Every structure is written in structure tokens, then in C-alpha cells.
A = this chain, B = another copy of it.
Amino acid sequence: MVGTELLLGEVIDTNSAFLAQRLAELGVDVYYVARVGDNRQRIAKLVQEACQRADLVITAGGLGPTADDLTKEAVADAFGLEMELRKEVLAVLEERFRLLETCMSDNNRRQAYLPKGAQALPNPKGTAPGVLLELAEGKAVIMLPGVPVELEAMMDDSVVPYIKQRLGENEAATIYSRVLRFYGLGESSIDSLVQEIMEAGTNPTIAPYAGGGEVRLRITAKAASETEAARLIEPVEEQLLNKLGPYFYGHGDEQMEMVVARLLLSQGKTVAVAESCTGGLISNRLTNIPGSSGYYLQGAITYSNAAKESVLGVDPKLLAEYGAVSEPVAKAMAAGVRQWAGADLGISVTGIAGPGGGTEVKPVGLVFFGLSHAGGTKGYRRQFAGDRLQIKDRAALAALNILRQHLLESK
């Protein structure tokens, strides 16, 4: 992991955790992770040492266009290689800059230089190409950029296939895993509900991860093939779902908004969103999915009482009697936004994200939701903990889950 900002503790390194997870899934043991600053000699020395103790060394960072991006040069030094200009890499860079209608600087041209004998790895999300350098005795150094979205895409597109191919078909035991996503139960509750199942066997193993207001369980099996692994994983998944079924909402990387989008599209329904404290976050998540115009029509962020009245037609008497943060107002907002947009479903949120604005009766983190459909309108009350951004996040997730549950029931 290359970068002075990492060494100084200004940036927390998350790349190595991502890489380690992917490598574990391939059955590759990670023995060391090291971090070094933007110093050509020290990078070179570290890569030399790493190559002595490992078959594959992956670096992250230091491939950018600036003078302190030195990884390629340092690796070339480590193995006594020259740097050479690659015309095909330069052509890709030039095309990218042409599309962006931006001038290409001499610094960017530096990114087209690779150590002699190395192979460029395409970067679909940025300018810095990755590098694969194969050395004697089957050893290899792979250089990836430090920007997480770029590194992650390149790991999946180029590095994982390369490692799989190197490991070969018959190189036995690979690690396969399946992730189950749950909403509405804490990590310790899930833990105590499924402890017996978790302790019953060693293949597959079950590991819980909590974060972002939800819990994931990863079932990991070691097997010679994917079919064999599925055979091991499936009965355990069934046992877990027997216990935790009502809280399960998706597999793998399937986020809540993807489940909601799938249900909306399959039922041919449209949705409109009225947000107060979440400030646009629910609409943002619903429109993160490609093709969202198929179910998302329009949304309103009605922060002020005046906006709740004029846009959503909320009765001023409700606002006066119950206050903007109340179940009657949430319901009126949901019914109002559904009508305003001419949508099948209306979902609304009103709450106190803090840090100010809380009272004894209505503390920070109190949030009301409304869901309106042709058959009527329902209200919901939730209390969340955390800071302003966490409360916004958790309220948005709760709203999406309310939508999901309604769609499941109305199927």
C-alpha cells in the first residue's frame, strides 16, 4: 500500500481489506500487508523483500500522473528494468482525454510508461492503467491504482481472472461464499438466534458483519468446485432462513434499493417520494439503479411547513395540531405525494436528524414514515441513534424497507 498519506494516518487504508477478502475467496493466503510512503528507494526495497517471501505481490497506489507517483519506477528499479513508452496505452489515454474534452498534459503521458516486459491492465474507471509484471520462478508483481473504485473494478476485471488462471483448474480447494443480508435485527440478536447453527460445523463457516444499520451473514465453504460448495452451503442457508426469514432481504451485493427496484418493475408499479429530514437521500438511492425511470416518476423535498402545504397539500391544521414530525403529517405527505405525482405508491419521511431540534417528547432520531397506495395510507414510527448523517442513512434504509415489505405483501 503506497502513499505518504497512508503512513501519516491521514487516509485510512481500506484497499488492503478489499484485496484480502477477494484473495481469501480465491483460497489465496495473505501473509503480509505493508505500507510505505512515496519514496522511490523505500518502495523498491519493500517490493524486493515482498517478492522474496511471496509468490504474488500486489501494490496499490502511486500510479497517478504526478511527480510523487513512483510505484512503477520503483518496481522497475527493484528488478533492474528500464521504463518504456507503450504506444497502445498512450492511445487509450489520448482517446479518454478526447472524450472528456480535456487537454492531456505531459504528466498524463507519464502514465503510458511501463517497466520493460510488463503488461498494462485496463482501468475502466480512471486514467492510470494497472501493471502486471511477471518475474522468474513464476513470481509476479501486480500494480493497481490507489483510488478504491478503480482498484476494486480492476481487481475484479483483471486480477481475479489472472489468479484463477494461474491457480489452474485442478488446483483444488477454492473458497466460495454466499452472503445473506438482513434488516431489522441487531448483530447480537442474530448471533444468539443462530449460535447453534454457527457452531455446528467448520465447513461451511458462518461469519456475521454489521454495518450501515443492517447485518450480513457470510457462509463460506471450501470445496473443489462451485457445485460442491453450493451443496455444502445450501442446507446451512436453509437453516439460517428458517430462523431469520422475516428479516432476510437479499443476497450478496444486493442493496435494499435494488430489491425495491426489482419488485416495483416486476409489479409494474411507480413510486413518488416526499422527504423532509432525509433531504433527498431516498430518491437518490432509488435513482442509483440503472433504469430507475421505469418506476421512479418524481419526488419532493419539503423541508419547510409551507412546502408541505403547498406542494403536498398537507392540511395546516395537522401541522398546527401534531407538528411537522408526527404520524398524521407523515401519512398526509405520503397521500399527497402519491396524488401530486400520479404514482401507484407514495412514501414519505419526516423526522429530526439533529443535532439541534430535539425535545423531551420528540428527541433527535425520531422519524415518522407514511406509505400510501390505492387501498389506503399507513403510518410508521421509528427511533434511530447516531449523528445527523447516520440518522439520515438509517431513515432512508427504513423507508426503503417499508416499501419492500408493502410490495411483498401486495404481490
Residues in A lying within 8 Å of B, measured CB to CB = 4-14, 16-21, 24, 30-39, 42, 46, 49, 64-68, 96, 99-103, 105-108, 125, 147, 149, 186-189, 191-192, 195, 198-199, 207-211, 218, 273, 275, 278-284, 286-288, 290-293, 296-304, 306-307, 311, 341, 354-356, 363, 383, 385-390, 392
Assess the B66–A187 pair: CB atoms within 8 A: yes
In the complex, given contacts A7-B33, A280-B284, what are 11 additional A-B residue pairs having Cβ atoms less than 8 angstroms apart? A6-B17, A9-B16, A12-B14, A279-B283, A280-B282, A284-B284, A290-B355, A293-B304, A297-B306, A298-B303, A300-B301
Residue pair A279, B290 in contact (C-beta under 8 Å): no
A287/B279 contact (C-beta < 8 A), A32-B36, A187-B64 known: yes
Q: Kindly state the separation between the CA atoms of A356 and B187 in the bound complex, as whole angstroms.
A: 38
Determine whether the beta carbon of B304 is less than 8 Å from that of A297: yes
Q: Are B303 and A192 in contact (CB under 8 A)?
A: no
Contact A66 B191 (CB under 8 A): yes
A99 to B383, CA, bound (A): 8
What are 8 A-B pairs at a CB distance below 8 A? Answer: A64-B187, A68-B207, A106-B192, A279-B280, A283-B301, A288-B388, A290-B356, A297-B303
Once bound together, how far apart are the Cα atoms of A286 and B280, in whole Å?
9
Residues in B with CB closer than 8 Å to A38 are 207
Least distance between A245 CB and chain B CB atoms (Å)? 20
Counting from the closest, the 7 A-B pairs by CB-CB distance are A279-B287, A280-B280, A280-B283, A9-B20, A9-B17, A298-B307, A33-B35
Assess A301 versus B287: contact at CB under 8 Å? Given A8-B24, A30-B7, A147-B211: yes
Residues of chain B with a CB closer than 8 A to A281's CB: 280, 284
Chain B positions within 8 Å of A42 at CB level? 31-32
Interface centre among A9, A189, A208 (most CB of B within 10 A): A9
Bound together, the chains give a CA A8 to CA B102 distance in angstroms of 40
Given A32-B42, A287-B279, A390–B149 Cβ distance below 8 Å?
Answer: yes
Tell me the number of copies of this protein: 2
Q: Which of B101, B192, B211 is the one whose CB lies under 8 Å from A107?
A: B192
Contacts of A390 in B (CB 8 A): 125, 149
CB-defined contacts of A32 to chain B, threshold 8 Å = 7, 34-36, 42, 46
Is A288 touching B67 in the complex (CB atoms < 8 A)? no
CB distance from A399 to the nearest CB of B (A): 12
A199 to B68, CA, bound (A): 11
- Residues of B within 8 Å of A7, CB to CB, are 20, 30-33
Indicate if the CB atoms of A218 and B301 lie closer than 8 Å: no
Find the residue from A20, A283, A304, A389 having the highest chain B CB count within 10 A. A283
Q: Is the CB of B298 within 8 A of A287?
A: no
Interface centre among A4, A18, A354 (most CB of B within 10 A): A4
Q: Is the CB of B198 within 8 A of A385?
A: no
Q: Give every chain B residue within 8 A of A30 (Cβ-Cβ).
A: 7-8, 37
In angstroms, Cα B286 to Cα A96, docked, is 32
Q: Which of A101, A125, A279 has the most CB of B within 10 A?
A: A279
Check A18 against B9 for contact (C-beta < 8 Å). Answer: yes
A185–chain B nearest beta-carbon distance, Å: 10
In the bound assembly, the distance between CA atoms of A242 and B182 in angstroms comes to: 53
Q: A301–B282 Cα gap in the complex (Å)?
A: 11
Q: Least Cβ distance of A20 to chain B in Å?
A: 3
